[in-house]
A and B are shown apart, each in its own frame.
Chain A
């Protein structure tokens, strides 16, 4: 174990209501120099000016962070080891995190010890998740049982009304272009809906998405 001469400079980015006890404890831990909290809107600026060794970002819905200065954020996250904390970890969040080059995704409720270990490991170049727990949940959710469906309902984001319509058209065998013309939207928009559906349902293909839709009561058989 390499003992660091200087403590790790960690930049936290939190919504006020997501501040947890673990992060407060982090402030008083040896080896961590917790910088003042950055609002998500000033994250890019703070990352560039403070040059932290690591970033800890907590958000309920990554979509609210993303969508603003995407390329700047990707720049920040790929050059600074980042740990993302969320109270809703699902396939969509993980996909988005990966798109933003964030390797480590953890539940908001990790202990301070786990958070410290995660930050150190991420700085060392590793990717950290509570993977076995999540995988078991996913596998269980994938099983077509009542408990599984209930769990899946908690894990998976619900499809929007529009996405349900698109899923039903996919079940009829329509391709992206045909869906676009049927709904009078652009092919680009229809592809976007299809990707979102696949991510939310955790499906690897259209056929799988349709089958999952049928087993979840979204698509009539």
Chain B
């Protein structure tokens, strides 16, 4: 029983959860996307809703259910690798959810997942942050900026719900499809990056060179063409037809001498540099072909 103005911890905790949900209600929607059940979505920016890609079956006649009403939304784009889909809606009745890119998240912090059920009412769960970690790649090869795994349960229709911390900030979008038997929260930073790309280009660009290489020892007769101390390099084993390397004139059998003037230390290093590059960047590639050194220029393309 409360005495005077003191409230029990139970009451405080309970009210703060309920108040948080009430605060964010206008940023969470239910989406009729063609699946067996509706799915949840978060109003990310004015007129822009983010949901999970795997839960979206339709590309047309997508409906948003809110406060008993059914509104039309249009599909803007998706990125299967990060399991995100972006919808547009012509309505100003929603409020973008508050979020920030670099929130400090610690294991053990208490969090709420807020989504909507298929009837349109709020559907929430609670738990703690089970794991945090650094950047990783999904099984489809998508780049996720940080690992956030909450210990919460996603009920039917809660895919695409928002994960909220006690500051009432959105930590990210919840997906059950990125890890086996675990909920993963796609972090705000990743959602922002993907939303920016989809709004600008319709998809997330993926830097691509169009060549496959494997390590070989430096051919002895050509030793002096290579920088001192290098003992191995890469051999081109495949050139994608009409790809950037093909257009630059790279051929199967070419031996890489340097990549932007520097020696190469393996395919992983090239992958690293590629992931850090932008579409349209030019790369000077020096290759050895038939004993002759050639200088080629490759323009990084979008895999599409």
Q: With an 8 A cutoff between CB atoms, is B232 at the interface?
A: yes
| Known pairs A144-B267, A145-B232, A221-B270; A173 contacts B140 (CB<8 A) | yes
B211 touching A145 by the CB < 8 A rule?
Answer: no
> For residue A214, which residues in chain B have a CB less than 8 angstroms away from its CB?
212, 267, 271
Interface of chain B residues 222 through 236 with chain A (CB within 8 A): 232, 235
Q: How far apart sit A99 and B297, CA to CA, in the bound complex (Å)?
A: 50
Q: With an 8 A cutoff between CB atoms, is A41 at the interface?
A: no
Q: With an 8 A cutoff between CB atoms, is A207 at the interface?
A: yes
* CB 8 Å contact bits of A202-219 with B (1 = contact, 0 = none): 000111001100111111
* CB 8 Å contact bits of B234-267 with A (1 = contact, 0 = none): 0101111001000000000000000000000011
Among the stretches B38-46, B121-129, B156-164, B213-221, the one at the interface with A is B213-221
- Minimal Cβ-Cβ distance residue in A for B215: A146
Partner of A146, one of B140, B208, B212, B216: B216
| Known pairs A220-B238, A221-B270; A145 contacts B208 (CB<8 A) | no
- Minimal Cβ-Cβ distance residue in A for B271: A221
| Known pairs A173-B81, A207-B141, A214-B267; A220 contacts B214 (CB<8 A) | no
Q: With an 8 A cutoff between CB atoms, is A31 at the interface?
A: no
Main SS of the interface on chain A? loop
> For residue A145, which residues in chain B have a CB less than 8 angstroms away from its CB?
215, 232
Chain B residue total in the interface (Cβ 8 A): 32
> For residue B240, which residues in chain A have a CB less than 8 angstroms away from its CB?
220
B267 touching A207 by the CB < 8 A rule?
Answer: no
| Known pairs A214-B271, A215-B266; A221 contacts B209 (CB<8 A) | yes
- Minimal Cβ-Cβ distance residue in A for B211: A220
> For residue A215, which residues in chain B have a CB less than 8 angstroms away from its CB?
214-215, 266-268
Report A136 CB to chain B, min CB distance, Å. 19
A149 touching B214 by the CB < 8 A rule?
Answer: yes
Report A165 CB to chain B, min CB distance, Å. 12
Q: How far apart sit A217 and B235, CA to CA, in the bound complex (Å)?
A: 8
Q: How far apart sit A221 and B267, CA to CA, in the bound complex (Å)?
A: 9
* CB 8 Å contact bits of A178-207 with B (1 = contact, 0 = none): 000000000000000000000000000111
Q: How far apart sit A214 and B234, CA to CA, in the bound complex (Å)?
A: 12
| Known pairs A207-B139, A220-B243; A144 contacts B212 (CB<8 A) | no
Q: With an 8 A cutoff between CB atoms, is A175 at the interface?
A: yes
Q: How far apart sit A172 and B206, CA to CA, in the bound complex (Å)?
A: 10
A221 touching B81 by the CB < 8 A rule?
Answer: no
Report A147 CB to chain B, min CB distance, Å. 8
B141 touching A217 by the CB < 8 A rule?
Answer: no
A146 touching B232 by the CB < 8 A rule?
Answer: yes
> For residue A173, which residues in chain B have a CB less than 8 angstroms away from its CB?
80-81, 140-142
- Minimal Cβ-Cβ distance residue in A for B237: A217
Report A150 CB to chain B, min CB distance, Å. 9
- Which residue of A145, A171, A172, A220 has the most chain B CB atoms within 10 A of its CB atom? A220
* CB 8 Å contact bits of B77-88 with A (1 = contact, 0 = none): 000110000000
Report B288 CB to chain A, min CB distance, Å. 15
> For residue A205, which residues in chain B have a CB less than 8 angstroms away from its CB?
139
Q: How far apart sit A171 and B271, CA to CA, in the bound complex (Å)?
A: 13
Q: How far apart sit A117 and B140, CA to CA, in the bound complex (Å)?
A: 47
- Minimal Cβ-Cβ distance residue in B for A210: B141
Q: Can you give 5 A-B contacts (C-beta < 8 A)?
A: A144-B266, A146-B217, A149-B215, A215-B267, A220-B240
B interface residues, Cβ below 8 angstroms from A: 80-81, 137-142, 208-217, 232, 235, 237-240, 243, 266-268, 270-271, 274, 303
